[in-house]
Structure 1
Amino acid sequence: MLRIIGVGLGRTGTMTLKKALCRLGFGPCYHFTEVFAHPRHLHDWAAGANGVPEAWRGPLTGYVSTTDWPGVTFWREMVEAYPDAKVILTSRDAAAWYESVTSTVFAAMSGRFPEAAERFRSFETAEQLAQFGRLGVIGRCFDGRIDDRDHVIACYERHNQAVRETVAPERLLDFQVSQGWEPLCAFLGVEVPEDPFPHSNDQKSFRATVLTNPND
């Protein structure tokens, strides 16, 4: 059963949060990279994006926490379904977030990484991956379009505000990964580890962490 629900959109430090949660004992954590390890999950994620009620529950079986897409698409449903789970909203400066998401996630979805596009054509659930991207990410998170900077940023800011207005303050951590261990550990009621706070998946490492060959 989920104990931690990450509700920040992708490229807000979601991979870093995943690693931090696992280090603190709140793993396994479901991040977008999990769909490459479990490609059949995409049938459920795509079904959920198509409106099939609670289809999102299946892939999360056995996970303690979740961050990033696909889960964040269904954040409202998760927050309601797991009333005892704590909620973490990762965020960052809107302009910096836009530059990051357009040069990574949106670039991958639009085929601007040719070497990755070629690999994904042979991915066993490539159709469902594309469907989820179209309906679950672009459709549900960005009102059907990602071609306008002001619109995308407005959707990002509206999402963050909706989380803050929906989730009870005592249940929500409004978090930037640059803050490190202290606020995260205080919120979760655990001791601060001695090892450094993890930082990962900047734009240079995006291809290595997300765009690796899914068949390897």
Structure 2
Amino acid sequence: MILSLDTSTTVCSVALHQLDGTLLGCYELFTERTASSRLTTLVQDVVTHAGHALADVSAIAVAKGPGSYTGLRIGVSTAKGLCMALDEPLIGINTLAAMTEQVRPFYPPDTLFCPMIDARRMEVYCAFYNQEGNEVRATSATVLDETSFADLLARTPVVFFGDGADKARSVLTHANAIFPTTQVRPSARTVGTLAVKAYATGDFEELVTFEPYYLKEFMTTTPKQRVN
């Protein structure tokens, strides 16, 4: 089995899949700051309630980003700790690719998919995928305006989704721009779907050196008042 974690955004989710892709269980919390306090509980619960033990798991998968700096650090550190304890491999999955897995089945073959994660102001983390789930434009931090993605929109319909899509909706008025009415959030369920494929091809991460895919450099501030 593969145990998958996603703490890329405010959603904290854990899923358990068999190696043939069968979903055995998925727990999701949609409240703020749950990853640090609830993640390990969700891990234990999803495995136990599916009738198994952590020792039965063959690999750990984690949404590697982009996303929240804090959330990604929590998810990746937890996944690495589980891999070390269980002596099992680590699989890293792009958060945007996993989001795309949620919507691909509902659109025709010529559609492109642009998952978006809010990066504050008018900036989003995004990428473009085709109907086969292949990346056709790499993950980037993009500041949105009226001309964004004009070349792609001129050729084919593009589905924009995720918590950054509301920003795109306000500036992208092209007829080929599609905005689903249902919110699409990152989920360990589709992280696990892609992790099953990665496991089959032996696409594992180097446990010691693996880090979250922050996309942008982590920025810190200096306290204005010194504490003695």
**TM-score of the superposition, structure 1-length normalised?**
0.29
Give the number of the structure whose residues are more often helix, by fraction. Answer: 1
Query: Which structure has the greater CA radius of gyration?
Result: 2
Tell me which protein shows more strand as a share of its residues. 2
